[in-house]
């Protein structure tokens, strides 16, 4: 009994630890025009986002649907708790920027002290801004990637896109008086980046690149405060992008076996 329980627990611990360990990736900054040759090994890109939220509900008994669209600016590359030195947003003439346009749609429910959103569809596009001069602004009420208006884009380079949102993409927002002016966390799992030629040279390791982009973070503000029913507002916050592969079927089978082992151990313990 104890042996089964220990083996099952160990299997789960290994898998859970692996799931939370962010894999590393490498970028070759030298492929960006004007940037010096430099390789960065990181496990995340930290981001700052702005978005517009369009929320609709046909009647009080109907489900509430939403579309959130906006942009993010990359702040830095990170490895563990360290912020890495790079040419991102720096080095004067050798500096460059990375930004993205995104959209997600789904449904949201308001119950008690929590608003829970499920992201079901969406897309994301990553760009390199060679001269770090692209202006971006979200248009309140607009949807899709066109919700973000841009200026000075002639030097921008498309790195890659994804138009798939994977299962497990959600947001959880605490409510005060059935509304939220700030707070809450989110995770959006996009499918694999369809990299352009220069995108594949930039995100060059691993090759082929990872199959999933996990964008997770915290909401800093909703303006006006997020409320049930029809709503149009603006959201801002911080996030990070982590790249990884979808769990292999063998790993999922091992999780199932581990859970079964724990269940058997618990049943034997109860009978004893």
> What does the alpha-carbon distance between residue 239 and residue 214 come to, in Å, rounded to a whole number?
10
Any bridge partners for residue 127, and if so which? 99, 158
Could you tell me the two tokens for 53? 């939220």
Tens-place pLDDT, residues 1-41: 434 334 434 443 444 444 456 999 999 999 999 999 999 99
Split at pLDDT 50, 70, 90, the class of 107 is very high
The strand ranges marked E within 163-246 are 170-174, 185-191, 194-195, 203-205, 212-223, 231-244
User: Is the Cβ–Cβ distance between 53 and 68 less than 8 Å?
Assistant: yes
For residue 90, name the pLDDT band (cuts at 50, 70, 90): confident
Give the SS3 label for residue 18.
helix
pLDDT for residue 5: 38
* R_g of the chain, CA atoms, integer Å: 21
Phi, psi (deg, nearest 5) at residue 211: -95, -5
């Amino acid at each position: 009994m104890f042996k089964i329980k220990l083996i099952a627990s160990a299997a789960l611990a290994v898998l859970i630890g692996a799931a939370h360990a962010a894999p590393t990736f490498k970028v070759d900054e030298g492929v960006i025009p004007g940037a010096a040759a430099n390789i960065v090994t990181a496990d995340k890109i930290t981001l700052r986002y702005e978005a517009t939220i369009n929320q609709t509900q046909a009647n009080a008994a109907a489900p509430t649907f939403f579309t959130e669209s906006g942009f993010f600016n990359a702040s830095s590359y990170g490895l563990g708790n360290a912020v890495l030195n790079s040419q991102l947003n720096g080095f004067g003439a050798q500096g460059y920027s990375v930004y993205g346009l995104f959209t997600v749609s789904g449904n949201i429910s308001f119950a008690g002290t929590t608003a829970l959103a499920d992201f079901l569809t969406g897309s994301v596009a990553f760009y390199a801004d060679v001269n770090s001069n692209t202006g971006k602004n979200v248009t309140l009420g607009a949807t899709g990637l066109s919700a973000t208006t841009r200026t000075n884009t002639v030097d921008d380079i498309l790195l890659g896109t994804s138009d798939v949102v994977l299962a497990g993409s959600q947001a959880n927002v605490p409510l005060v008086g059935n509304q939220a002016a700030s707070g809450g966390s989110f995770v959006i799992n996009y499918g694999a980046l369809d990299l352009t030629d220069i995108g594949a040279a930039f995100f060059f390791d691993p090759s082929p690149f990872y199959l999933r982009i996990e964008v997770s973070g915290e909401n800093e503000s909703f303006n006006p405060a997020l409320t049930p029913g029809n709503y149009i507002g603006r959201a801002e916050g911080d996030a990070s992008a982590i790249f990884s592969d979808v769990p292999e079927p063998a790993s999922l089978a091992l999780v199932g076996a581990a859970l079964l082992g724990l269940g058997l151990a618990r049943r034997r313990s109860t009978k004893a």
